[in-house]
Every structure is written in C-alpha cells, then in structure tokens.
Structure 1
Amino acid sequence: MVERKLTALLPISLVAVALLAGCATPQPQFVDQGQYAKAVRDSASKLTWPDGRTPDLDVLAEKSGPGPDKAPVGSERIVLEMTNACAWYLGWEDARKRGDQAAESTALKVMDEVLPKFSPEDPDGQRYARETAAKAKAGNGSLAADYVANNCESVVWK
C-alpha cells in the first residue's frame, strides 16, 4: 500500500526535488512561502478537477509550503499530483454513489490515462495508480479507498 500524507510528504519530497534539481542544474532555485503559494495556484489551473472536488488552494499551499523556510522550485507539483489523485478517486466514488455513469466514466478515464503518468521519478506510485485504475474499472474501489484514507484527510475541498 502506498502511504503518503500531504503534510508529511513535503520534507521528503523537497529533498528529492532538490536532489533531482541539483542533478539537472548546477544551482537549484528556491521559493519562499508566497512564491510557493503562487506556484500552487498557477500549477493547479493546468490540472483538471472533477465536479465538487476542487481543493482550497490557499489552505493546501499553507499546509504543504515551506513556511518560513524555502522550497525547491517545482516542489508544488508533487503535492498537486497527490491532491489531484485524491480528487479523482473521491470524484469516482461520489459518482458511483449517486449513479452518475457519465461522471464515473470520466473519472475512470482520468484514473487510467492521467494519474499513472504523474511522478515519473516514482515508479512505485505509478504502478499503484495503474493497479488502482484497473481495480476500479472492475468495480473494486479498495485501492482508491486506501489511497484516500492515507493521503487525503488534510485536503480541504471547496
């Protein structure tokens, strides 16, 4: 089971992103809390979100950001990918509960085609996303429910 808390993940993810950024460029760039919050808002607008599952980006940036410290440029991507997966897994379950086959189909398509492409530096996470989508297509929401239980409790939805 993949267990990644948004708030607990950040220090580890910042180190990983910093190391990856260090390999790609000689001088990693860092952002403060205000710049991080802007990056969260800007990057979130590039993702699609299911109806009723848009995160409160101010709260997300506050909870996942560097606070008084600095974060590597691009570190918001990991937090947003996790939050987007939460949104689609919850959106799929919401659609199933209300019998909305169109919304359920849309969510399954995103779960199958988009979420497994997130975090190329995390093959285990990609494998988990593929397995989650395959089980969901077969009507088994256990992996999606596990992901939500372990990763989504700190997300505030609008």
Structure 2
Amino acid sequence: MERQLIAALAALALVAGCASPQPAPVQLVDQQQYTKAMRDNSSTFTWPESRKPDLAVLAEKSGPGRDRAPSGSERIVLEITNSCACYLGWEDARKRGDQAAASQALKVMDEVLPKFSPEDPDGQRYARETAAKAKAGDGSQAADYVANNCDSVLWK
C-alpha cells in the first residue's frame, strides 16, 4: 500500500464532506498519530495466528509520511490488511489440510469481512462473493484480492 492510497482517502473524505449538508471537519493526523492509531485499532481485529502484520512497517508504508492523513484512514488500511490475512490464512490452512482452521477462516470471510467499510457497498459485495466462491472450493477471487492488495504487507 502506497502513500497514494492515503492521498486518495483524503480526497474521498473531502469530497464526501462536500456532499453532506453540514460537512463535519476532517481531522488530519501526522505520521506519529497515524502509527499510534494503527497500533491501537489493530487489536479490534482478529488475526490468523500465522498472519499478523508488522504494524510498524505497515504504518510506515501506508501512512502520510511528512504529510497528514484523514483520521480513521488507518482503519481502511487495517481492514484491507485483515482481509489479506484471512484470505491467506484460509489458503494456508487448506494447503496443510487443517480443516478446523480453514473452516474458521471461512466463517470470518463469510461473517466478518463483508461488514467492513459500510461506506463501500461494492467492496462488501465483493467480500460476500469471495466468501461464497471460497465455500464452494474456488479460491481464485481470494487469490486475486491477495495479488492486488497484499504484496506490501510484511507478516510476523
């Protein structure tokens, strides 16, 4: 994930604010605040045992750097990273034949990931479709998500 993601989020937040009758002021955070928020908020996610992100690296790669980012933008990065962890955790469990872990990952894929980003119904639909395909044994959409969103994540 690159700094362009943060710039896009900032632009989206500003545009979304312009569309509302009384836009709430967008709070901006610096890199240190962003990193702290990422650390604090990561504990609200369930991470597969073998797929926990290195939060320092994630915050450095996705944060605002010398600029500022909208407060809450770390949540979107954590949601994307958690989706990566779940999809990869599911595939890891399938490869090693661990049905219990694969079943648990499918449950998260089906019940948790589609609830991420309520402001993004297309993303929620994609998560539901990915879970449905995975339940049917087709991991192609999960693999596609991983290929397009997870390459910069360093796992611990």
TM bin, normalised by shorter chain, reads over 0.9
Greater relative contact order (Cα < 8 A, sep 6+):
1
Show the counterpart of 2:6.
10
Percent identity over the alignment is: 70
Distance change (3 Å), C-alpha of 1:52 and 1:21: farther
**Counterpart residue identity of residue 41, structure 1:** R
Gaps of 5+ in 2: none
Show the counterpart of 1:136.
134
Question: Aligned to 1:112, which of 107, 110, 113?
Answer: 110
Whether the 8 Å CA contact 1:92–1:108 is kept in 2: the answer is yes
Question: Aligned to 1:55, which of 50, 53, 75?
Answer: 53
Whether the 8 Å CA contact 2:9–2:70 is kept in 1: the answer is no
* Superposed CA offset, 1:1-39 (max 9, x none): xxxxx2243221222234446647532211100000000
Hey, what's the Cα distance between the residues in 1 that align with 2:131 and 2:32?
Answer: 35
Hey, what's the Cα distance between the residues in 1 that align with 2:116 and 2:78?
Answer: 10
Gaps of 5+ in 1: 1-5
Question: Aligned to 2:78, which of 69, 77, 80?
Answer: 80
TM alignment of 1:87-98, pairs within 5 A: 87-98=85-96
Whether the 8 Å CA contact 1:10–1:79 is kept in 2: the answer is no
Normalised TM-score (structure 1): 0.91
RMSD: 1.4
* Cα drift, residue 99 of structure 1: 0.5
